[in-house]
Structure 1
Amino acid sequence: MEVRHEGHHHTANIKYGHFIALVSLAHVGCIVLSRTVLKKYQLNNRIGLVASFLLWSIIIIGTTLINVDLSESYKTSIKRIGRLSYCLLPFDIFLILRPNFPIIRYLELIDLHKWMSRLIIACGLIHGVGYMVVWSIEGTLMVKSLKLLNFYGVIVFLANCLLLIISIGFFRRRNYPYFYIIHNLTVWLFVYLISFHARPGVSVYTLVITLLLGYQFYKKIGYLTTLKLHQHESSNLKIIELQNNFDFSPGSHIRLSYSYWDYRCWAYPTHPYTIAHSNLDSVYLVVKPYQFDFNASSKYCLTGPFNSTPDQFWTNSENISIVVGGSGISFGLPILTHLLAQGKLAHLFWSVKSQADLYILNALNINHLDHITVHITGNEDEESFGLLSNDEIELQSLSNSNIKIGRFSFTHLVSQLNKTNDDNKKWLVACGPEPLVIDAKKFANNKKIQILTEIYSI
């Protein structure tokens, strides 16, 4: 990790970094090809994600070990895997650009980004541990670790270790703003300290990464807007009204952050919200404002909208069941409205905690209530599908037959699905907490129907 001139071995790894960059470009090409020429969209294809990760792992391992005699030139492999991790960064950052390509669905590639990030961190840690072992054997660990260019690598190594720990699901979900700060800090350290640490240099990759990060920063800059807040005192669901000056497709998201003059705009992540309803003057969001402070007297930065529904869903569906929990109604309502306008067979099932949450339907002036069935659960978490002890519900907005007391079951969808015969055009849309989405995927798989999902969690 100090400046070393080992003849051929000093520059031997450059071509392998370029090879990984070319494979990254090929992967991007395959993604674009699958959405254009092949017209293929694999929703929630876990197999495809696992296959991509395993293939990348094999490529990295093979590239690290090829043309290396480990008994004599093991340092070459240790150096090489560190270089490969850096050369993967442009591809990994591309995966989270919003948007990266107009034909790619919003956040479609986020899971691949997560796994590629883990692979990059793993490669970096192997590189760091490898040199620590070598230096320990040589008895030069402290001396070489404290050399300036090597010490840059030590800093990145420690940052990656910290990021790996706080990436654990339990911690990340409960402390997401802090995870976000540490994640971004680690990325910046990785990009720019390694640009000095790497020998031979990686200036071309640093330039590409800087351009991608600059684009990402630019896209975060939206326009400032104010909002109106609507709320029922007994409901924890709020309606946010924003000025409508943009076009969007059903199921689209916007992202909100604080004003540019608020440090939280730059330190914390933007918050995604689905557009639940719109008219000529306003768009409406249905939110549970736990980690975001909504204040009618403040200004907010808005970016988007970002499309989250594939064309295949609109063109290849005729019988659609929509299952949502709590604030997931914001995803389901515009999709239901658009499907009914197309003359398709569609029904929405909404699980809520209490009768008070149903003010949403009246406040948004929903006029196709006969296509909505509400399950009132009454548990502390309205999205957990529990049981309600109170069985006396009176609502003017919904008929009694469309109000159910207690637990939602996916067996309720069977009669809806049986109204048509072509299973290829039957869809299940699910939006809410992860347990709901998991159950929806199992049901869709058993019934051999298509599925579109959104998880409303961090």
Structure 2
Amino acid sequence: MSSISPRHIQDFNDAAGLEPHWGYADRVIPCTSDAGSCEYLDIVYWAHDVGMLYMGAMWAVIIGGLMVWGFLYRTRVSQSRLGATISSFTTRHFLPELRPLRFLFGRTTRLQIAALALIITYLSVFSFAGIVYKSWITPVKNMPGVYNTRSSLGPWSDRIGVIAYALTPVSILLVMRESLLSVITGVPYQHFNFLHRWTGHIILLQSVLHTIGWCLVEIRFYQPQPSVAVTWIKQTYMIWGVVALIFLLLLWGLATRTAQRAFGYEFFRKAHYVLAMLYIGAIYAHWSALGCFLIPSILLWGIDRAIRLGRTALIHYHLLPDGRGVFSSLPSKITHYGEDILRIDLINPNPTSWAIGQHFYLTFPQSSIWQSHPFTPLSLPGPRHSYLIRAKRGETQKVTAFQGDSTPVILTGPYGADIMRGVSGTSNILCVAGGTGITFVLPVLMQLAQRGEGEGILHLVWAVRRKEDEEWIAPELEFLRRSPRVRVTVYSTRSPPSTPASAETPGPSEKNACFDRSDSSSSSAEKGSNMPTLDHSARPDIHQITRDFAAQAAGGEIKVYVSGPSGMITAAREVVADLNDPRGVWRGERKPVEMIYDDRLE
């Protein structure tokens, strides 16, 4: 306590009693300083206590909101007419992006931005509420004619510091791969990354303002100078505060796109882990009284890492006949397609339960055991896994440069959500993919085609650069093309126009506008299939394709699955939002149009 007594005008050696305050230094009672200093201390401690109550209320709202969300997610309330109407309204108004602010927020939904706006509003209000704003000119003990200027800048700086501490476990929750939030809400963990990034921005801003506030107090308003400032900066808690701010600035700087391009994503990821733990340790040393926010953060981080290791061990740890355990990688077959595409096929002898839409992190020991990347299996759940990898930079470029036809693989997972939840035989499914995004949507149609029964319309739209890119998933495409339920349309965006084939009689649905928009298209029907296979040398018009599909499925349940470049996802968001009619849903005339997407390609 002695290190902070000069700052709070309290002499703990002469204290008649101590009044505890959660998250702060105990208060000496009674106050024996001058009247102005005592009034100032009243406001300091009052503002802190109220701030802790506000943070408790914030966490109560978070926990309560998650409980309600989890209840609605697991019950049939969301399937009622009211739930369907709310879903349709939310999709219509909050699924599209906020184009004017794309430079600031990127290609994220209005819903995410609205959630961020609510968070910022709450924090802004309670950064200032409950503080008496006033200033006092108080004498410096044993120094006639020298005065301190005490003001509410101190309590305000403390308040935003407390908020930064309280947001630390929020930031950890939002970034956990073993996401508790996903378990409760059903939302894939990667969809929380936007709020994680902005929570980091908020914590940095609060920390900088907290530092500036106390620098003004200790370097400008307290006297005499420079002795007060020198004494202040030499205190242990202040040294750790400076160290923590340095770690936080490094965390923020290395997370920028410029830094990631310069140093690589894997360096950023590993540095982020290390710096985050160093930062939490430093702010604990700076003010351990607020450990109630930091200890849970460390526990959450540790639990996340422990479960990850456990998942990997379940797949790769084997017991030998003599009882000894051994960790071994999985052999895989690799197939090259051009210079930048690699297909990996492997069999997991210890099958792990996973759902369509989930993904695994793959490590390639032949390249590095310290790096892993997320890939979605294009195969159906089971022991057999198939993946597509496109070379970009760093590790994926090394992997696609492998020579030979096999390489060892280490799997960790699965992660993400089951995207088949709520799909029935009457569901109308439109799957739109670009390039390797096909791995996200393909298993959806494969499972439905495998079931065989159902009345819903199934349509796959896949955009690739060249027609020969279809070879990536030739066996799977062949399976879909033989299904009487699935229509397959492939767009070759860089292939030259071809002469239309006319050997087949087009099915009735082929007359729809979205199937003959290009003069340079070819149509063929696979043997045993009632659905035409269409190839276009053009770019898909996502708006028109989706509208035409909705017209065919008039009044039925529609789910649109999308994975591909950002422009494709943006277009799909816009048209799906526009197709939702909350009033029609409420009157029972229509059903919500749902969009399930994966934007990890970006």
Q: What TM-score, normalized by structure 2, do the two folds share?
A: 0.66
Which of these residues, 58, 61, 66, is aligned with residue 31 of structure 1?
Answer: 66
**Map of 1:95-244 to 2, 5 A cutoff?**
95-97=174-176, 98-100=178-180, 101-103=182-184, 104-107=186-189, 108-138=191-221, 139-140=225-226, 144-169=232-257, 171-172=259-260, 175-198=264-287, 201-221=289-309, 222-223=312-313, 224=316, 225-234=329-338, 236-244=340-348
Indicate if the aligned counterparts of 2:333 and 2:346 stay in contact, CA closer than 8 A.
Answer: no
Given that 1:328 and 1:432 are in contact with CA atoms closer than 8 Å, whether structure 2 keeps it comes out as yes
Aligned to 2:359: 253
Q: Is residue 359–residue 415 contact of structure 2 (8 Å, CA) maintained in 1?
A: yes
SS in 2 for 1:453: strand
Look up the equivalent residue of 1:216 and give its one-letter code: D
Report SS of the residue matched to 1:421.
Answer: coil
- Residue 550 of structure 2 is matched in structure 1 by 417
Give the gaps of 5 or more residues in structure 1: 379-387
Q: Any idea what the Cα deviations from partners look like across 1:236-294, whole Å, max 9, x if unmatched?
A: 332222324122222121222356x99753xx5x4221121147541111221433354
* Contact preservation (8 Å) 1:240, 1:284: yes
- Aligned-pair CA distance for 1:377: 1.2
CA distance in 1, matches of 2:110, 2:576: 16
Whether 1:355 aligns to 2:467 is yes
Structure 1 residue 3: Cα displacement: 2.3
* 1:390-401 correspondence runs (5 A): 391=498, 401=533
Among residues 120, 124, 134, which one is paired with 1:57 in the alignment?
A: 120
Contact kept? 1:427, 1:452, Cα under 8 Å: yes
SS in 1 for 2:4: coil
CA displacement at 1:49 relative to structure 2? 2.6
Structure 2 residue 457 is the aligned partner of structure 1 residue 345: yes
Structure 1 residues 118 and 339: alpha-carbon distance in aligned structure 2, compared to 1, 3 A threshold: farther
Contact conserved, 1:232 with 1:356, CA < 8 A, in 2?
A: no
In structure 1, give the amino acid aligned to 2:308. Answer: K
Identity of aligned residues (%): 16
Q: Aligned letter for 2:431? A: I
Match of 2:147 in 1: none
Distance 2:205 2:420 in 1: 33
Structure-2 change in CA distance of 1:190 and 1:180 (3 Å): same
Flag the 1:377–1:209 CA change in 2: closer, same or farther, 3 A.
same
- Please give the secondary structure, in 2, of the residue aligned with 1:70: coil
Q: In 2, Cα distance between the equivalents of 1:235 and 1:374?
A: 21
Q: Which residue is 1:87 aligned to?
A: 166
What's the counterpart of residue 490 of structure 2?
Answer: 374
In structure 2, the partner of 1:453 is 597
Equivalent pair of 1:375/1:408 in contact (CA under 8 Å): yes
Given that residues 153 and 193 in structure 1 are in contact (C-alpha distance below 8 angstroms), is that contact kept between their aligned partners in structure 2?
yes
Contact kept, 8 Å, 2:356 with 2:420, in 1: the verdict is no
Taking the aligned partners of 1:359 and 1:230, their CA distance within structure 2 comes to: 14
- In the aligned structure 2, how far is the partner of 1:182 from the partner of 1:317? 48
1:431 pairs with 554, 558, 563, which one? Answer: 563
Aligned pair in 2 of structure 1 residues 280, 438: CA closer, same or farther (>3 Å)?
Answer: closer
Q: Residue 143 of structure 1: CA displacement?
A: 5.5
Counterpart secondary structure, 2:187? coil
Q: 1:310 Cα shift? A: 6.6
1:136 Cα offset (Å): 3.9
Distance 1:408 1:83, change over 3 A: same
Larger Rg: 2
Whether 1:443 aligns to 2:570 is: no
Task: Give the CA deviation at 1:29.
Answer: 2.8
Corresponding letter in the other structure for 2:445: L
Against the structure 1 CA distance between its residues 202 and 25, is the aligned structure 2 distance closer, same or farther, given a 3 Å change threshold?
same
Maintained 8 Å contact 1:353/1:377: yes
Return the alpha-carbon distance in structure 1 between the equivalents of residues 268 and 493 of structure 2: 33
Letter in 2 for 1:234: G
In 2, Cα distance between equivalents of 1:397 and 1:147: 79
2:416 to 300, 306, 312: 306
Contact 1:156 1:186 in 2 (8 A): no
**Distance in 2, Cα, partners of 1:398 & 1:456:** 33
**Following TM superposition, by how much is the alpha carbon of 1:426 offset from its aligned partner in structure 2, in angstroms?**
2.1
Q: Find the aligned partners of 2:596 and 2:539 in 1 and give their Cα distance.
A: 22
Change (3 A) 1:182 1:135: farther
Provide the C-alpha distance between the structure 1 equivalents of 2:120 and 2:282, rounded to a whole number of angstroms.
25
Q: Give the drift of 1:391.
A: 3.1
Q: Which runs of structure 2 are paired with 1:278-289 in the superposition (5 Å)?
A: 278=380, 281-289=383-391
Give deviations 1:94-150, integer Å, cap 9, x for gaps: 223323153423224333323222222222222122223334424555663454321
Preserved contact between residue 352 and residue 383 of structure 2 (Cα < 8 Å): no
Provide the rounded CA distance (Å) in 1 between the counterparts of 2:335 and 2:197: 36
Q: Does 1:323 align with 2:425?
A: no
- Tell me, in whole angstroms, the C-alpha distance in 2 between the residues paired with 1:148 and 1:262: 44
User: Relative to structure 2, which stretch is displaced further, 53-62 or 165-174?
Assistant: 165-174
Count of residue pairs brought into register by the alignment: 442
Question: Are 1:191 and 1:206, in contact at CA under 8 Å, matched by a contact in 2?
Answer: yes
Contact 2:546 2:575 in 1 (8 A): no
| Aligned partners of 1:83 and 1:198 also within 8 Å | no
Distance 2:57 2:130 in 1: 19
| 299 and 375 in structure 1: CA distance in 2 versus 1, 3 angstrom threshold | closer
Task: Kindly indicate whether the alpha-carbon contact (under 8 Å) linking 1:234 and 1:356 is maintained by their aligned counterparts in 2.
Answer: no
User: Is the partner of 1:13 in helix, strand or coil?
Assistant: helix
1:15 deviates by 5.5
Give the whole-Å Cα distance in 1 for the aligned partners of 2:418 and 2:266: 24
Tell me which moved more, 67-76 or 428-437. 67-76
Structure 1 48/284 Cα, relative in aligned 2: closer, same or farther at 3 Å? same
The residue matched to 2:496 in structure 1 has which SS? Answer: coil
Q: What amino acid is the match of 1:208?
A: P
Aligned to 1:405: 537
Q: Which amino acid aligns with 1:335?
A: V
* Aligned partner of residue 375 in structure 1, secondary structure: strand
